[in-house]
Structure 1
Amino acid sequence: MTMLDTLFGLIPAASRGQQWLAEDLQLVNWGGYDGAHRVRFSPGATLLCGGSGSGKSTLMDAYIALMMPHTTPFNGASNGGVTGRPRGEDQRNILSYARGKLDESRTEEGTRMRVLRGDGTDTWTAVAMTWVDHDGSHFSAVRAWYVPAAARVLEETVRVRASAEGPVDLAALDGAAAHRFSDASLRAAGLDPLATDREFSARLHAVLGIGAAGAGSKAMSLLARIQAGQQITTVDDLYKRLVLEEPETLASADAVVAHFDELEGTRQRMLTARQQVAALEPLRGLRLRIAASAERVRLIDALGDLDAPGSPAAVWRAEKRLGLLRDVEAELRERTRFVDAVLREKHALAGAAESERDALAEVLRASGGDRLETAQRELREVQRRLETVRDSRVRLDEDLRALGEETTREAFEGVLARASDAAGAAEAKRDARATYSEAMTQRTAAARELAELEAEERAASQHHDSIPRPLHEAREVIARAAGLSAEDLPYVGELVEVRSEFEPWREAFSLALGGFATTLLLDVAHLGRFRTAIDAVRLPVRLRYEGVQTGLEEVRGLDSSTLPGRLDYRSTPFTGWLQDRLEDRFGFVCVDHADELGRHHLALTLSGQLSQGQRGAHGGHGAASVLGFSNARRLRELSALVETARARSTAATAASRVAEEALDAIEDRLTRFARITRVSWDQVDVDSLVAEQERWTAVLGEVAEANPELARLQEQIAELRERTERLRQEIARASVERERIEAEWAVVVDDVDASQATLDAAERAGRELHDDERAFLDARFTLTEAAASGSASDVLVRFDAALASAAQRLEEDRRSAAQAHEQQRESVGRIMAGFLDRWPNPNLIVDPEASAGDFERLLDALETSGLHRLESEWRDSLLTLSGNDLTSFDSTLGRSLREIRERIEPINVIMQDLPFYDDGHRLQITTRENQSEVRRRFRRELREVRAQIQAVATEEEREQVYRRMSRLIQRLRRTAPDFGDLVDVRNHVRVSAERVDALTRAHVALYDHIGEKSGGESQELIAFIVGAALRYQLGDAGADRPRYAPVFLDEALIKADAHFTARAIGAWRGLGFQLVIGAPNDKYSAIEPHVEVEYDILKDTRGRSWARPKVGLAD
């Protein structure tokens, strides 16, 4: 199609001076319009009037269904309160129109829709419009839908889009409907089917000349908004909602955000890759350590035991020891030569010293040395005896002092005489021992009594009764055996308490009840099982028990003159039975005097004497009472007994200590007597031996004075004797060393043979020690440099000592390696599990052996791709690209603002030739920019961020500008709270209208708030502004009339009087438009004079609508 470039853009060449007028609208099965219907339109204005719900909007919606995209909602005049998707199930839609929906009703199966047609059967519907040009040319457009009975959504229908060069008759489509609107059937009906909505719209826009430069969708969108007739209160709102489309800034912001999100997503993938690499990198080291640990375990297993013949470890030890043994042999050989030389030297020196000593001894004897030698010998003997006697004298002095005697011969003999009296001493010892034994017996008995009483006191404090501890313990044993609790086995004494006013009778009541007070009661229902359970139980005390009937009613107000009436009872299941038993067998009358006993069959005195007819009993006083379900009295009694027992125990302890000291004193005296009797006075006579020592000392002096040379000779002989002895000792030591060396050499020879045999056996068997095995053992057991220094024997000893724990150390090494292997496997498993927890991958499993290669390949792939290392390069690209996006967005903001102002100019040009208000005035649209500090800061930040992006130099600056840019882009998201104020440039300007003088263009009046004007003024104002805008959108602003003339107004022009309605319709007509107006019955009177054709829209009781011409066109 040929287009011409005009002031208002590219428009079809065929549109000059031409105009397409709507000739008629045809419906088949559309809503309430059942069957075929045709509505013919006036070239000027047509009025559709009718009551609410009669079908006016249904006709209007037919036009929308034919011409508008599927996003345009139906029934725009009344859909303001309806929510949901346009033409969705919550609104009027094609399916509801096709079936003629009447209403909905509730049934047992749920909500059911009542329809005119298509209830369980297929149906079809169609809408068509025919336009006529000034030269009589016709063009028709058709939309039709074949609706199967099961269709629930539009996609399940057969949709038809078709056109025709000339008029059409929709009723003729009935035959095509029988073929489900196949293309062949449509062509047979004279239609040209089109495949898509886009092709259909393009065909209509091209033929009818709708929109400049192919912008027909904008013109149709404006026509839809005009038809909807939405409530508008300001000129600004009118212009922005009806004239302006969504600005380019919104799409530009979306593009900026989308681009940033795309790059940010790449960044997140990079960060994820970096985290994955960091998470997986330890796997390599762990795998190496796992392999090393496994190799260590294998190596140790292969080495075997050092003591196992033929094992690699044994071969290694034989090699090492053989070398050390050779060194020891050489060392022993050298030591043997040295010791032999020493022995020869010492033997020669000893022989020479003996010869010299014998010669000097002969000289000494010839010079009178025999007397001197005798004196010396005797003096040595006296000195020896004197030391022994002095020791005995010290012990004797100590014993005599202990016995109170002095150390004289007379005192000694007196003590011996007294010590000979054995019979008296034995009797005294027996008496002391008997006294000590009696004291210890009393001490033990007192301590035992105190311990028992203290235990009884502790036990009593844990029970709220007066039952002795042994009975409690016995009950616990049989209760456990029978599977019962202590509460199931009460003693009679636990269930009763002497009333406080009868406390003096406690002992009498205890004596009267006797053993019955310590009888166990149990439910008779448990008796058989109880007897069986306790039969094998052994008890230190004998227990009596009785099976009783539980749950009997308790008796109140017993006779207080009898024993049962003077007791309080604890409320238990056993209490009722116990009261009956006491009344029956222990109903003793309490009397004050014994002479009253005979007056009653059963009677009891305060002293405890009782009578039972001719029988009676008395005595047993002093026993502890077991009556009471409170332990206070029992604790007081026990406390007093404990204090008494503690005093007796203290006294007994002191008496036993005194007896013990007396027995020790007698035993000490007798022991000293016994020692003295074993000594004679000669054995302790120090004085006589001192005198003998002085006599021999004098003899030595006399001999020395007679021959001075004898002393020198004696000294020389003594010195030679000592030298000879010393040399013989040295010879002995050297001989021992020689023997030790020989013995050690024999052992070494045996060890050499054993080591060599091990090596020979290994060589014959072909067992070689591998280098890694030798290196491991060398590193593990080779001595340090300090330990390897010293003699060869010491080194061998240290080596053997090191190997003594070799088996344990090897086992520890193996265990350590195995543990390390397992720990490293667990670490690998944890890394794998942690990785899959953060980044699930169905192709990977947590298996340190089977999946290790998969994880390493993944790591290799991550490192090969280098994603985790590209963040810096990526950030540079992100900043550059996003900076360009921000620059483009900033330019779009300015350009869109200019476009809003530029859009107004052609509209004002159109309106400057149209009289407004009267012939002397015109209407013009003006704009005023809304100043906003938030927007100014936003634009300023845009520019600053762009400048920062260009100036960034360091990594820190790059990170700062990235974060700032990220915050800025967050404000460009549609979900941002200030998105509309910052991005939608329609909010940056305020649009108003003003009335100006037609000649001078001087300002006369301002039109801003439409709601402040009357209905007529508002309609006129809207007609001028929207009509002019529509002319501009249709692309015919410079033509005498628009190429596409039809404008549908649903419930418009209904608030104005005749004058302003005439002006509004005149405005539309003056702009060259053909009007189709829908109005309710009670609001069309002001419109009626200004239309050429009028239809009444009617509906019958069955819900069927039709259009009846009230003022029709001539045929």
Structure 2
Amino acid sequence: ISLLQDEHELARIVADMPWSKIDVNGLREQETRIRRQIERIENDPELGQLQTELKQLNQQATAENRNQYQAEDDLDKAQHAVQAEQAWLDAYGNDDFDDATLSSMVSNLLADAYENCFGASVRAQDRPKLIAGLFDHESETPFHTRALRNIVRIARTRIQEIDARSNQLRADTERIMDDYLNNHSTDDNTVMASVEDYRYFLDELDELNMLVTRAATDEEYANSVKKLYMSFQQLNRALRTDEENIKEQLNRINSMLKGQQFGPQGGRLSLDVTFSPIDRQFETTLSRILSKLEDWTRNASDNPTETRNAFNNCETFVNRLHNELDKIHDTNGIKAYGARNLDPRVRSSFYAIVHHDNAPDERISSTGGKSGGALQELTSFVYGAALIYLLGGDLTARPTYTTLFLDEALIKADGRYTKRALAVLPRLGFQIIVSAPESKTAEILNVANRAYVAYKDPSTDNSYLQELDSETITQDETQPTTAPAKPTTEA
């Protein structure tokens, strides 16, 4: 292209130049001089040396440029590795793990599984890059996920091997136990050839050893004091929590009574309880013995003399407990609770509160002086809520199907109380079936969905039911007094 441009430029100059200014011979001489000069320069040995050095320098420059590009690429990868490793450290580097909490077998298994994740071809200096994911290909599972799967696989295989070995040892052991039972055990089947019962065998062995010991050993004294201490602690906790448990049960029952109107003024009924305090001397004695046993546990459990003293110190409080338990009398399977300090029900006093919006609250602590209707409404509320609590399964559900049969339960209640007593039970989720004499049917029919009359024919002694509807009631009311009497009826 340059040659063509030069020729084009020369042609343009020659085209506009007059012939008088063209010195062909001079230009040919000048061309000859220039060619000779070029040949002299090209034949100069120093120029050849310089060209060789230039070629070497160009090759060296090419190699250095290649090294530069490789260094820049290594630098970029190193910076990326540092960033990835720092991100990994920020995410997981603060997690502390105490290897001492694992057994040596488990620790060695995990260490071998972890080492197996790298392979023999990975150099030690490349492990951080592998962990950080620098060697992962696109859409490849991250290294930590692959490592975790490998550890899980190895651990699962090891667990399966241990389970197989355990099952084999279990079968061998139970076979030996069964052979022993066949040869030496009685026919009462009180002992089973099962590894699950191993701890019970050890307990019975300890008890047998104590039975054959003529004198109580120091170990037996220490074991007895420990059991007494645990029992006294359990008793102390029960004394603090039993009252709260009773109040919690009342709260659950009261939650069933919310939204139900009670009494002629439409109040809200709730139940409450008060407890008399535990005997002060009983509490003081329990606190004192617990303090002594706690001091023995901390400082003197290995001292046989102190252990026997601690055991003897428990005698006074144990006798008090025997006196409390002797007050409980069991007659025909019904226990008359008299352990006042042990059972909060003996110290409890229950009462009901009727809350009114526009009147003072009413406290019901006795059923004396109340009519049969008022008592019927009170028992309907209390029994209904209690049955919901017992049958509903929890505090949020009601029985899916629960029927209450009331056999002449409202014969002493007047009409107002009868309606209120029968209205609360269906609202609590019960289906009510009431049997009542004919004199009480008027109040019941006002709240009943269906009514039936039981007829008995005196001539045949046969009875049958007939549904009672409005037409039947109107017909009965409009019949003349001279009409033949119907058979005896009961609603």
Report if TM-score (shorter chain) is over 0.5.
Answer: no
Question: Is the radius of gyration larger for structure 1 or structure 2?
Answer: 1
**What TM bracket, shorter-length normalisation?**
0.3 to 0.5
TM-score by length of 1: 0.20
Bigger relative contact order, structure 1 or 2 (CA pairs below 8 A, ≥6 apart): 1
TM-score by length of 2: 0.44
